Amino acid sequence: MNSTGEKIRLKRLEKRLSQENMAFELDISQAAYSKIELGQTELTINRIFEIAEILEVSPYIFMPKPKYGTALAQEYVYKTLNKLRKFWQANRRKKSSLNQDNESHTSLQ
């Protein structure tokens, strides 16, 4: 179930509405409504909201999924964590070496 038109058709069938009912509610012809379900008509956001209201569902179920997703990609999270780990280790080494230098200078005096 990929296309918006197919999602609309399935919800319409769940509600036991005909294409004629939907067309009447949207104030368009049945042929024009049929083109919506077939994916031959580019839908506006307003039209999606109108259809969702008629079908009593959230309009967001008809919208396509974001191209890049809505969550963080694990690969980038792991890369970032690895970089942070290396950064912290390098800083710890620097701190440790500075402390040793300071101790050796104070013991010489």
pLDDT digits (tens, 9 = 90+) for 20-51: 999 999 999 999 999 999 999 999 999 999 99
Strand stretches in the chain, DSSP E: none
Type of residue found at 29:
S
Residues in the chain where the model's pLDDT stays below 70: 1, 67-73, 98, 100-109
Type of residue found at 10:
L
Residue partners of 57: CB distance under 8 A and separation at least 6: 11
Compute the distance between CA of residue 8 and CA of residue 63 in angstroms, rounded to an integer: 10
Q: Scanning the structure block, which residue is given the tokens 């580019």?
A: 42
